[in-house]
Every structure is written in C-alpha cells, then in structure tokens.
Structure 1
Amino acid sequence: MTSTSPFSRYPFTPIAGRPGYEWPNGQRLAVYIGLNLETFAFGEGLGAELAPGGPQPDILNYAWRDYGNRVGVWRMLDLFDALDLPVSVLINSQIYKDCPAIATAFRKRGDEFLGHGRTNSERQGTMPEPAEAALIGEATAAIVQHEGRHPGGWLGPWISESPQTPDLLDEAGYEFVLDWCMDDQPVWMQTRRGRILSVPYPQELNDIPAIVGRKMNGDDFADMIVDQFDEMLEQSAAAPLVMGIALHPYIVGQPHRLRHLRRALAHICRFRGDVFLTRAGTIAAHVRSLPDGIVPGVSRA
C-alpha cells in the first residue's frame, strides 16, 4: 500500500448509534483551544491578508501578521492565565528562531506543543513525498530539541495535505492529526503502516475562515463560540463530543476582538465542572486507551 485516497482513510459511520464513552473526569464534552503560533517570510510566500496585498514586499499584511507575535499573543497569554485555561500550541518551528520568548512563555505554563510545519509561508501538500517527509522531520526535530519530547499531534500549515501525509505522520511517530474536520468525535484513520487518530479541529469555529474569510466581526465570532458550546453541551448528553476553538494571535489578539473572545471563554469557564477543559493531546491519549471498536474508524490490525 503506497498511499490511500481520502475516501478510504476511514469508513462512513454516522454519529447516531455509536458506542458511548466518557472523558477522564466523567464529562461528555471535551473542550480545547488550538492556538496557532505562526511566522511568515518577509517579501515572499503565503499568508492571510487583512486587505488585498500589493507587490512584494507586502508591508501592510506582513506587519499585521507580525503584530500577533509582538503584541496579540501576550494579551492572549494574560487571558488564558486569568481564566486558568490550558492550551494546545500549534507551533511553526521557525518560531524558535524568530521569536523564542513566545515558546518559553507557553512552556512555563506547561502547555503542550504540537507540530505545525516550519512556517506558514509554505504548504506541504504540494511537495514531492521526500520533500514533505523532510519538512515533517525538520519541524519535529526542532520541537524535540526545545521541548525535550516528541510532539504527539500535527496540524498542517494551511490544513494542507498530500495523498501521503497521514502515512508520513504515522511513520514519523505522530499519534494524531488535526487536519480533518469531518466529525465531532475522534476517528481512527488508515495509514499504509497501520492507523493514526484524527482529533476534531474546527474550520467553522476558526478565526481565519470566520473573520478573514467571511468578514465576521469579533462579537459575531464570540457569539459563534458561545452558541457552539451551549449546543454541544446539550448534544453531549447523547454522545461524547470534542469542541475545538482555533485561534490566531494576529486576528483575535487585536484589542477589539480580544474583548469579545474574553466574554466567550469566560462563558465556557462558568461550566468548568460540567465539561472537560483540556488539551488535544489529552483527548488523544484517552481515546487511545479505549478498547478497540469503541472509537469509529478503522480497527486495529
């Protein structure tokens, strides 16, 4: 087996009628924050745009993104500390060179670091397999060097995958992937060596599609978070669910949006005893401990 098409990575299994289970503390809704720590090349490569960019160097959009690392993420750190919220850090390995103080700050909090490529100026899905494997290897080695452990999970820059990406991640020692948004529960995906776990990562509850793509305001995005949480908390009475919140400091770290984000996260924290506020890696570890056949997807070989 050299590769697997996306449609054969996992079988169709409707959420209705699946086996039930609980999260470690007996709750049925797990909530985690996926914080994207990203860096961008100056004068070249990919990047989200606040406004249509001009010829390179595109000063407006480069500086807007850089605001997230210089200012926005530090305001968000204060927010996470004030609410005592754990965070899953999705880190471009270039962060360790460009702005290492950010990694130090989250390391001191005890947050987990997950792979997110080298930089968000590039997209791995268009690379030949050897080049993609090298990208994964370089990003992984940087996290191991600085954090002292292999990252458990991976989110591709721009959610970009080649047909071989899950295979390469499995072979590189990753236990779970966040690229797939097809479910509200973790799902086992087929790889050419065995399987890898897909942990739900949101593309609706994500500030880039919502605010950059759909031009939503910060209050609307916060309302989305609250509505998603309230509805999923009710739905979780019938089945265990995962709610991720995808954030980028250069977007929601802007003061006028941060105020609304604070409101939404404070709402979630008021239900702290009723939900499992955690990190993506903890979700994956719990699912991996369950008997085979409980979690949808491919079975253990």
Structure 2
Amino acid sequence: MPAPRERLSFSTPYTRAPLTAPEGIRLIVWPVVNVEEWDINRPMPRQVSPAPGGNKSVPDVPNWTWHEYGMRVGFWRLLEAFKSRDIRPTLSLNAKVCETIPEVPQAAVDAKWEFMAHCYEQMSIHAIEDPAAMICQSADILEKFTGTRPRGWLGPGRTQTFETLDQVGDAGYDWFGDWILDDQPLWVKSKTKPLVSLPYSVELNDITIMVSAPHRSDAMLERARDACARLLKEGENSVRVMSFGVHPYVSGAAHRIRYFEEMLDYLKSQDGVVFMQGNEICDWYVRQLPYPGKT
C-alpha cells in the first residue's frame, strides 16, 4: 500500500504556481469544531484527570464526564460565539452523536454548519475491525441526519493506515484533513479518485495546546495572532489557509471561552482574511488547479 510520499509529489508554496482569491483575500481561515462520542465502556480517548496511583479503570467516569460537559455546556458556548459573529464552521462529528445526543448536531444543522465525517465514535482507526465499512457508515448516518452527504473526512486523532485514503476515495469523499504537511491544499492520489488534502492544524488545536501540554487559557489566542500575521504576509504572493481545531469540552470551558471569542474577533477584523468551510476551500482550489495539475 502507498505511503504518503507515494501519493503526492514534493512541492512548496514558495515555488509552486500561486493561488489567488478575489477582493484582496490573502488568507483563508478554516474553523473546525470537533464533537466526539466517547464510549464509557472503553478506556477514554483522552484524560484530564489522572487515575489515582496511575491505575486506569473502566468505566472512567471522571474523564467521561469532562467530555460530557462539552455536550451539555461547552458546545452551546461555541455555537453562540460563531453565530453572533456570522461565522459558519465545519463540524467534525463522530456520527454516533446523531443517535445519542441529536440536539447537538441539530443545532449545527440549524446554524448552517458544514458536516465533516469523523469516524463513528472516537477511537483510533487502527482499533476498528472494518475501517472501510465504518468510513461508509459515518457518511450514511450524517447524510440521513442532515440530508446532505459529507464530502470531507477527518480521521479520529487524524489516524490512518496505509489503506485509509483508498477507503476514503472508495466511499465517495472529495477531501480529507488528516495531513498537516502544508499551508495550502494539495492533490493526493487514491485508488478510486484523486482527493484534495486540506491543511488542518495540530498546533492551532486546543487538544495540543490545552490538554497535551497545558498552557495558559489565552495561549491559543496568541498563537492564532502570530500565525495570522505571518500567513497574511506570505499570502501576498500566494493565498494561504489557516485552520484551527477546537473541542467543546476544552475551548468551551468557562475560563477559555473569552479568549476563543477574542480570537474570532481578531481574525475577523484583519484585512485580507475570509472564513470558509471545507467544501468551499476544496472547490476554490480545484477551480484554480484541476487534477492532474502539479502537486
């Protein structure tokens, strides 16, 4: 099975054909909200409360309830932050949430958020018995719930096997966000069809900043300002894409939501910045560089 470097050729935004956007746009911001389903009968995907004595247990009620706070409280803070600023993000959704807490995805439908498939429930793709079936199942459930089949895929924790992209192509998706290797979209080969890799972020992501390495509550705001400044400058020659990923149980916490709102306000106030959903970014890229353009 092809490794990533066998699916795309090497290039760099500093030398490849420039990407342009209308009306002086230099930077496209792609906001992503990740909503996950954690099965209380398995070890939790993440922990904020270490087990006493390091003895992990199932059920892990303390960490499961941390995640549940996101469903009950944090998500609704994020929803209001986006809605009051007329920003429509991409919802990266474990499809099982449509079955367990439909109020959350229904609110996203009502707010005209875009849905991106994000596994059936949160677990490494390597632990799934039939990943190809799960990738199709996720799209089927989201299509039934929203009335629109998702075009984008994001693996749980961005995990992939060497077969994953072929399975994503087979399932009919057009783009994916698992690879964090560029500041611009890229064409990627799969067995069935070419896919577009959208530049997601692991460093402008509240899990990396606030959970993996707990920083101050305003750390993501500061990173976003710095990244925006540099990418806007580089975007004078070729438009860049800046994504960020947030989770309701992290950025939706009472001590962080203020800084998340300030981050949105800062990005929205910058000349040359536009917010887009994943499908819009994919279509913008494909119009300028149809496959098999140089990657």
Deviation at 1:224, TM superposition (A): 0.9
Contact 1:117 1:157 in 2 (8 A): yes
* 1:31-75 per-position Cα deviation (integer Å, ceiling 9, x unaligned): 011100111001314411112234221111100011001100001
Shift in CA distance, 277/193, structure 1 to aligned 2, threshold 3 Å: same
Shift in CA distance, 171/24, structure 1 to aligned 2, threshold 3 Å: farther
Contact 1:179 1:201 in 2 (8 A): yes
1:123 corresponds to which residue? 124
Deviation at 1:222, TM superposition (A): 1.4
1:50 corresponds to which residue? 48
* 1:120-140 per-position Cα deviation (integer Å, ceiling 9, x unaligned): 1x2113446xx0111111111
1:137 corresponds to which residue? 136
2:163 corresponds to which residue? 164
> Could you tell me how far apart the structure 2 residues matched to 1:16 and 1:74 are?
40
Deviation at 1:223, TM superposition (A): 0.8
Map 1:274-289 → 2, pairs under 5 A: 274-289=272-287
One-letter code of the match for 1:180?
W
Contact 2:169 2:195 in 1 (8 A): yes
2:261 corresponds to which residue? 262
Deviation at 1:193, TM superposition (A): 2.4
The runs of at least 4 consecutive aligned structure 1 residues that moved more than 6 Å come to none
Map 1:6-155 → 2, pairs under 5 A: 6-23=4-21, 25-53=23-51, 54-120=56-122, 122-127=123-128, 131-155=130-154
Q: Secondary structure at the match of 1:114?
A: strand
| 1:222 correspondence with 2:224 | no
- In the alignment, structure 2 segments of 5+ residues that lack a partner are none
> Could you tell me how far apart the structure 2 residues matched to 1:263 and 1:295 are?
39
Q: Secondary structure at the match of 1:13?
A: coil
One-letter code of the match for 2:62?
L
Deviation at 1:290, TM superposition (A): 2.1
> Could you tell me how far apart the structure 1 residues matched to 2:195 and 2:276 are?
20
Contact 2:33 2:246 in 1 (8 A): yes
* 1:204-231 per-position Cα deviation (integer Å, ceiling 9, x unaligned): 1011111111111211121111211122
One-letter code of the match for 1:42?
I
One-letter code of the match for 2:274?
F
> Could you tell me how far apart the structure 2 residues matched to 1:277 and 1:144 are?
24
- In the alignment, structure 1 segments of 5+ residues that lack a partner are none
Shift in CA distance, 55/127, structure 1 to aligned 2, threshold 3 Å: closer
Q: TM-score w.r.t. structure 2 length?
A: 0.94
One-letter code of the match for 1:55?
S
Q: TM-score w.r.t. structure 1 length?
A: 0.92
CA RMSD after TM alignment: 1.6
> Could you tell me how far apart the structure 2 residues matched to 1:290 and 1:222 are?
32
Deviation at 1:296, TM superposition (A): 4.8
One-letter code of the match for 1:12?
F
> Could you tell me how far apart the structure 2 residues matched to 1:193 and 1:105 are?
34
Shift in CA distance, 292/138, structure 1 to aligned 2, threshold 3 Å: closer
Task: State the percentage of identical aligned residues.
Answer: 27
Total equivalences in the alignment: 291
Contact 1:66 1:250 in 2 (8 A): yes
